[in-house]
Amino acid sequence: MMRLLPSPSILAGVATALLLATACSQATSQAASFEGTELDPVRAATGFQLHDQFENRLSLSDLAGKVVILTFLYTNCPDICPVITETLKRAHTQLGDDADDVRLVAGSVDPERDTVEQAHRYSERSGMLDRWAFLVGTEDELTPIWSAYYIAAQRQGIEEGGGALDRLDDEADSHTDADIAELAYLVTHSSAAYLIDRQGRLRVLFTELSLDPEPLLHDIRLLL
């Protein structure tokens, strides 16, 4: 019996299709690669319920269906927190129309000084008032959240004449010297930023953010 062999044109077409399929597979694999650390296994993000800078009660469950950027900072921070704030501001601006599907959330690591009023003041001063939720609460409310997200927040005294003392003098004329001495301290803490997907699951961790928002934007868009 004579066996019919595929024509050269058919063989060439099959080879081309296979090459295209391989290329598409590789492109998809590359596109799905996160810039931050992909968390595995994927698990539900620990919930919380705190007050924001408008004194509204906000819980993580309220943000279902959105991609959430969750980070932790404090309003008297002299170094990394302003960098994180500026990075989030740039990311929000560059998201454009996609910003409607993303929520930026900052949790305080300084319950004693970060009141609703102070969170509002800081948010307004940094141009973030209507771009994010700055969540504040008592130490009892915040400590379990820090623990769940591995945020090691710890108070540390500072030398007299430091930047934090200068800001306290400028922002709170009613403070006595004793008040300022009590309130003038730094908080050491992890500068992590988490990406939570639309289903409320932890997906990506950035151990720190630079002023370049592109890696963060890349991963947000993957989750969108």
The 3-state secondary structure of 44-69 reads ECCCCEEECCCCCEEEHHHHCCCEEE
Query: What is residue 32's predicted lDDT score, i.e. its pLDDT?
Result: 67
Domain boundaries, given as residue ranges, for the chain: 34-153+189-223
Task: Characterize the bridge pairing of strands 102-108 and 132-135.
Answer: parallel
pLDDT in tens, 68-105: 999 999 999 999 999 999 999 999 999 999 999 999 99
Confidence of residue 184 (pLDDT cuts 50, 70, 90): confident
pLDDT in tens, 14-72: 344 333 344 334 434 444 699 999 999 999 999 999 999 999 999 999 999 999 999 99
Task: Characterize the bridge pairing of strands 193-196 and 201-206.
Answer: antiparallel
Determine what percent of the chain is predicted with pLDDT higher than 70: 75
Between 91 and 11, name the one with better pLDDT: 91
CATH architecture of 34-153+189-223: 3-Layer(aba) Sandwich (3.40)
pTM value is: 0.78
Angle at 109 between CA 107 and CA 110, to 5 degrees: 120
Ramachandran region of residue 55, left (φ > 0), alpha (ψ -120 to 50) or beta? left
Backbone angles phi, psi at 187, to 5 degrees: -125, 115
